[in-house]
Amino acid sequence: MIPLKTLIVIDKTADASIFLQVAEQLRRLINEGLLPAGQKLPGTRQLAELLQLHRKTVIAAYDELLAEGWLETRAGSGTYVATHLPLVRPQFIGKEVDSESVSEQPGFTFTPKLHLIRPLLLMADGLRLDDGFPDIRLAPMDELARAYRSYFRWGNPQQHFGYGDPKGNRLLREELSVFLNETRALRTTADNILISRGSMMGIYLTSSTILKPGDVAVVGETNWSGANMNFQQAGAELLTIPVDQHGIDVEALAVICERRPVRLVYVTPHHHYPTTVTLPPDRRLRLLQLSRQHGFVILEDDYDYEFHYLRRPILPLASADPHRMVIYIGSLSKSVAPAFRIGYVVAPETVIDEMARLRRIMDRQGDSMLEFAVGQLFRNGDMRRHLKKAHQTYAARCAHFCSLVTNELSDGVQFSQPEGGLAVWATFAPEINLVELAQKAKTAGLMLSDGVAHNPPGKWLNSTRLGFASSTESELEQSVAILRKLTRG
């Protein structure tokens, strides 16, 4: 006799109906082989007494399983587990088996993709010199809340809560088009823009649309690993070119183009990731010339264009591209807060249409309410006011942080004050083990990257990004004081 009284546990505080709990647990016992095909079940009255339930509850559970084909009745005999079910041998977890590993590992095989493995960046509590995150305390939360409320008062509810355009909310695309044309000299309409969930999705859509297995994608020797992963996921062969104090070596790219057909070149020309340097005009012009000559696509990731401090920002490559060889990507995640999963892709309309078709099968549409609300922030000027305030704040923090590092860490850290962005690229003295330093800093209450993710294959840079934007000047002083103590201890 199967001990159903101990195997079926009823939780009367759960949301699920009791008869559904009984049915689900009987179904599980059948799946696990504890109730084999052809096994006779207790009568409804008997099982109700065992479980201390009303008989109608057990009848409802049996009816549910009969309707699904798990059970069958035999006239004058009773209720049985259906005989057509396959024989399953019950398996028991012994003491020597790690129950956690049983829940982690599937019953089938698959091949993990090694290029997808990279550390997960999280917003740490306490002091931090992060990868270059914005300060979420500056985000226009009150203005966003008002814009959200207007979403429920405006227009047709069917429009708001039904399916939308995979390209993104029309209001936001129109406002972004105006904003990009005015601030970056682009020549766009709303139809040239697709709203994505951050720049990562934009790079994924571009890679999947432009690249096919075996194509060559070229990136800097030091580069954002998130972009590299996307190109590898698309099946591209990844080639690297050197990066110096002026950014990517465009002449090294020219040499590759003479030897191999190149399909795509990924650049962050405004503030190269991770080194923060700005690509000078002569290299920009040469890159555009090579693109026209050899026919490769330039994927321009302009992740923090709004934050340039020492002079007026240099206009994007896309603004000087009459031949439409540049796909331009940006994001509000760095401008406002990482939780604002709004990025955008700017490209010719036919390319945007194809990306929208691809996006539709992986993520039917974006967050309509968030996109509408952010569109409202652009329309009424709140977003521009926020960006101006953030620019002033981050410029002051950049200057203060660079002064602190110069005065307190000059014997152990080399850096150049960045022209913009949200982080400083710092190289530590050879006698300072950056991995060990990051571990000691964590123990002391300060989070910073160990820089390993920025090392090209076979090289040890002993460098990392020290983000200043997400910390107040007081917090930056405390962070530098911890580094000073650890590097001189």
Q: What torsion, rounded to 10 degrees, do the Cα atoms 372, 373, 378, 384 define?
A: -150
> Which two three-digit tokens encode residue 113?
């993709």
- 298 and 404 belong to one structural domain: no
CATH number of the domain that 412 lies in? 3.90.1150.10
Q: How far is Cα 139 from Cα 144, in angstroms, rounded to an integer?
A: 9
Tens of pLDDT, residue by residue over 439-455, are 999 999 999 999 998 99
- 351 and 431 belong to one structural domain: no
pLDDT, position 311: 75
Give the distance from CA 118 to its chain's centroid.
12
Which DSSP category does 222 fall into?
A: S
Q: How far is Cα 26 from Cα 66, in angstroms, rounded to an integer?
A: 12
pLDDT, position 252: 97
Secondary structure of residue 197 in the 3-state scheme: coil
pLDDT, position 109: 78
Task: Assess if residue 105 is contained within a domain.
Answer: no
CATH number of the domain that 169 lies in? 3.40.640.10
* Domain-ending residue, one of 339, 358, 382: 382
- 376 and 456 belong to one structural domain: no
- 45 and 165 belong to one structural domain: no
Task: Assess if residue 98 is contained within a domain.
Answer: no
Tens of pLDDT, residue by residue over 381-397, are 999 999 999 999 999 99
Task: Assess if residue 121 is contained within a domain.
Answer: no
- 374 and 409 belong to one structural domain: no
* 124 in Cβ contact with 130 (< 8 Å): yes
- 313 and 347 belong to one structural domain: yes
Task: Assess if residue 102 is contained within a domain.
Answer: no
- 397 and 372 belong to one structural domain: no
Task: Assess if residue 330 is contained within a domain.
Answer: yes
pLDDT, position 346: 97
* Domain-ending residue, one of 357, 382, 407: 382
* 284 in Cβ contact with 433 (< 8 Å): no
Q: State the total domains in the chain.
A: 3
- 227 and 156 belong to one structural domain: yes
CATH number of the domain that 25 lies in? 1.10.10.10
Task: Assess if residue 88 is contained within a domain.
Answer: no
pLDDT, position 237: 97
- 274 and 245 belong to one structural domain: yes
Task: Assess if residue 372 is contained within a domain.
Answer: yes
Q: How far is Cα 81 from Cα 65, in angstroms, rounded to an integer?
A: 9
* Domain-ending residue, one of 60, 81, 102: 81
- 184 and 265 belong to one structural domain: yes
Cis peptide before 119 (omega within 30 of 0): no
- 405 and 348 belong to one structural domain: no
pLDDT, position 45: 92
- 365 and 397 belong to one structural domain: no
Q: What's the domain range around 192? A: 140-382
Tens of pLDDT, residue by residue over 247-306, are 999 999 999 999 999 999 999 999 999 999 999 999 999 999 999 999 999 999 998 888
Longest dimension (CA), the chain: 93
Task: Assess if residue 334 is contained within a domain.
Answer: yes
Residues in the chain predicted with pLDDT less than 70, given as ranges, are 1-2, 87-103, 119-124, 154-162, 489
* Angstrom distances, CA of residue 212 to CA of 46, 204, 215, 234, 237: 64, 13, 6, 6, 10
